[in-house]
Amino acid sequence: MDDQGVIALVRKSMAIHGGTQAEFAIACGVSQSLISQFLSGTKQPGWRTCKNIERLTQGQVSRYQLRPDIFGEPDSIDINIAATGGKSEKHQKESS
């Protein structure tokens, strides 16, 4: 993915999460300066940050969108888990 695509996805993630850049950084487990570097296109999120962003946005921004070079294409199981906020169909039934 090109830098502009990653920048747009990080911005979208921040909008979904709400709050400040610093609050988003804390929720992602990174520094505010690293979020700033993502937004300027000088760095891209690593695999752990991508997974955290996916979790924070409840799958609205996926790790596959952020870094297809790391994660490749999602399979149907991953799509279903992302769509349910990180819970498998079996887990959802058990917690109902």
Average pLDDT over residues 21-39: 96
Domain boundaries of the chain, sorted by first residue: 3-88
**According to the model, what pLDDT value does residue 78 have?**
55
pTM: 0.75
Secondary structure string (H, E, C) spanning 19-69: CCHHHHHHHHCCCHHHHHHHHHCCCCCCHHHHHHHHHHCCCCCCHHHHCHH
- For 32-89, the pLDDT digits (tens) are 999 999 999 999 999 999 999 999 999 999 999 999 999 988 775 555 555 565 554 4
Contacts of 5 (CB under 8 A, 6+ apart): none
**According to the model, what pLDDT value does residue 74 have?**
79
Q: Given 1.10.287, 1.10.3470, 1.10.260, 1.10.10, which CATH number is that of 3-88?
A: 1.10.260
Q: What is the DSSP letter of 73?
A: S
Residue 29 has pLDDT above 50, yes or no: yes
